[in-house]
Amino acid sequence: MCPETIPSTRRTLNNAPILDAVSGTTPTRTPVWFMRQAGRSLPEYLKLREGISMLDSCFQPELLAEITLQPVRRHDVDAAILFSDIVVPLRAAGVEVEIVPGRGPVLAHPIRTRADVDALPILDHDVPEVAAGIAIILEELNDQQALIGFAGAPFTLASYLVEGGPSKNHERTKAMMHGDPATWHALMERLVPTVVNFLEVQIDAGIDAMQLFDSWAGFLTARDYERYVLPHSTEIFSRIERHRIPRIHFGVGTGELLGSMSRAGSEVMGVDWRVPLDTAARRISAASGPRVLQGNLDPAMLFAGTAALSEEIARIKAEADAAIAAGDARGHIFNLGHGVLPNTNAEDITEAVRIIHS
Ligand code: CP3
């Protein structure tokens, strides 16, 4: 769907701290955004969402734009994360999926056999509602504030498809992977074009950076990750490379996988809160060379009060600085080590951003 040339309609950011951190220029302040900054931690979000299902809200341009912008206005973060969900491209392709409150994405028909895989719809068209929402967002952001788009990585999407919903142990997914590797790889190959197309919809609409969420990759051994997942995530990053926007790669509980995941080819590696940033940087650098790090405050620290929070933020910044000084990292974007927890106080998020910037 995308022409071979890179669109020149991209807006120009002016020393946006996030883009400076990625390009190796010293940013004017430590850039910060929080995964799940849009959503349940904000009363103004809960008000807007009254009576509208999560997935329906992702297809309403004015609404998704407003929800995306709420945390930027309130917290002074350096980026907006597009309000969407990892199952939005599946829904756009025609897959019957709902997000059940308190549970997560649930599929009407789980994917269990080769025939199911072959019948899985592929997203091969525009998602005009998302593109229109992005246009509204870009009108309001200033030239220091980046808009980050995203997609779920094929493994994490496959887990929802195969299990039929959120899973504690991902046993059916692993059973397919090991018991029927041909079907597994066919499923991953069928998801790649949907992910790439959904990212290109967002890129054509003007996002400034992208993140691939492989949230559940941490359930895999490095050996299985490399055999069953890495080739497909690598394919996605390599197909996005020509657009020349920063690419971020993130998963939860991925301490043992950071080296393997870094080989998929992103400029930025998200680090979950369980691994100190300097340790993470050494693992990444040894596997595939230094990258920009993103992370990695424990989301629970937003409940701990200003003194404890300041101490943790200082520790994380010091670890990032040490990694950069040692040549193991190229820069640092501050973030949580996973998403904002639903019960977090909005004021505590604003306070964290203030401390990070100071
Ligand atoms: O602020 C942001 O980060 C932007 C929005 C965003 C959402 N989902 C909105 C959302 C993003 C980036 C996602 C990605 C996403 N969705 C991931 C990857 C990130 C991660 O957390 O690891 C995953 C695994 C999903 C699947 C999913 N969607 C889950 C597990 C849930 C939670 C279900 C629940 O109610 O506990 C959702 C629903 C969802 N996605 C909500 C939001 C704001 C909550 C729904 C609501 O507010 O009613």
- Which domains occur in the chain, in start order? 17-357 (3.20.20.210)
pLDDT of res. 3: 47
Q: Closest residue (by CA) to atom 38 of ligand 1?
A: 104
In 3D, which of 292, 242, 323 has the Cα closest to residue 27?
292
Residue 7 pLDDT greater than 60, yes or no: no
pLDDT of res. 10: 78
In 3D, which of 262, 228, 230, 259 has the Cα closest to residue 248?
262
Please give the angle made by the CA atoms of 99, 101 and 104, to the nearest 5 degrees. 45
Give, in order, the Cα–Cα distances in Å from 75 to each of 29, 78, 134, 156, 309. 15, 9, 20, 29, 16
The backbone torsions φ and ψ at residue 60, rounded to the nearest 5 degrees and listed phi first, read -115, 105
The 10s digit of each residue's pLDDT in 270-313 is: 999 999 999 999 999 999 999 999 999 999 999 999 999 999 99
Residue 16 pLDDT greater than 80, yes or no: yes
In short, whether 337's Cβ falls inside 6 Å of ligand 1 is no
The Cα–Cα gap between 179 and 173 comes to 10
Please report the atom of ligand 1 found closest to the CA of residue 38.
Answer: 1
What is the whole-number distance in angstroms between the Cα of residue 36 and the centre of ligand 1?
7
What is the whole-number distance in angstroms between the Cα of residue 335 and the centre of ligand 1?
16
The Cα–Cα gap between 45 and 216 comes to 26
The Cα–Cα gap between 147 and 16 comes to 11
Contacts of 147 by beta carbon, 8 Å cutoff, 6+ apart: 68, 79, 80, 82, 134, 137, 138, 141, 206, 207, 208, 209
Q: Closest residue (by CA) to atom 37 of ligand 1?
A: 104
In short, whether 27's Cβ falls inside 6 Å of ligand 1 is no
The Cα–Cα gap between 190 and 77 comes to 36
Give, for ligand 1, the residue of 42, 99, 254 to mutate: max count of ligand atoms closer than 8 Å to Cβ: 99
The 10s digit of each residue's pLDDT in 107-148 is: 999 999 999 999 999 999 999 999 999 999 999 999 999 999
What is the whole-number distance in angstroms between the Cα of residue 23 and the centre of ligand 1?
29
Residue 1 pLDDT greater than 50, yes or no: no
In short, whether 81's Cβ falls inside 6 Å of ligand 1 is yes
The Cα–Cα gap between 283 and 262 comes to 9
In short, whether 83's Cβ falls inside 6 Å of ligand 1 is yes
Beta strands in 181-290 (DSSP E): 209-213, 247-250, 268-270
Burial 168-196 (b: 16+ CB within 10 A, else e): eebebbbebbeebeebbbebbebbbbbbb
pLDDT of res. 137: 98
pTM of structure: 0.96
The Cα–Cα gap between 232 and 55 comes to 26
In short, whether 98's Cβ falls inside 6 Å of ligand 1 is no
In short, whether 251's Cβ falls inside 6 Å of ligand 1 is no
What is the whole-number distance in angstroms between the Cα of residue 85 and the centre of ligand 1?
6
Query: If you average pLDDT over residues 80-107, what whole number do you get?
Result: 97
In short, whether 349's Cβ falls inside 6 Å of ligand 1 is no
Q: Closest residue (by CA) to atom 40 of ligand 1?
A: 85
In short, whether 39's Cβ falls inside 6 Å of ligand 1 is yes
What is the whole-number distance in angstroms between the Cα of residue 336 and the centre of ligand 1?
15
The Cα–Cα gap between 338 and 270 comes to 9
Residue located via tokens 């995530």: 233
Q: How many residues are there in the chain?
A: 358
* Average model confidence (pLDDT) across the chain: 96
* Sign of the Cα pseudo-torsion (92, 97, 98, 99, in order): negative
Just list the catalytic residues: 36, 40, 49, 85, 160
CB 253 within 8 A of CB 261: no
Percent of the chain with pLDDT over 70: 97
The backbone torsions φ and ψ at residue 254, rounded to the nearest 5 degrees and listed phi first, read -100, 20
Q: Closest residue (by CA) to atom 29 of ligand 1?
A: 104
The Cα–Cα gap between 275 and 281 comes to 10
Please give the angle made by the CA atoms of 250, 329 and 80, to the nearest 5 degrees. 45
In short, whether 160's Cβ falls inside 6 Å of ligand 1 is no
Please report the atom of ligand 1 found closest to the CA of residue 156.
Answer: 24
Query: What is the SS3 assignment for 189?
Result: helix
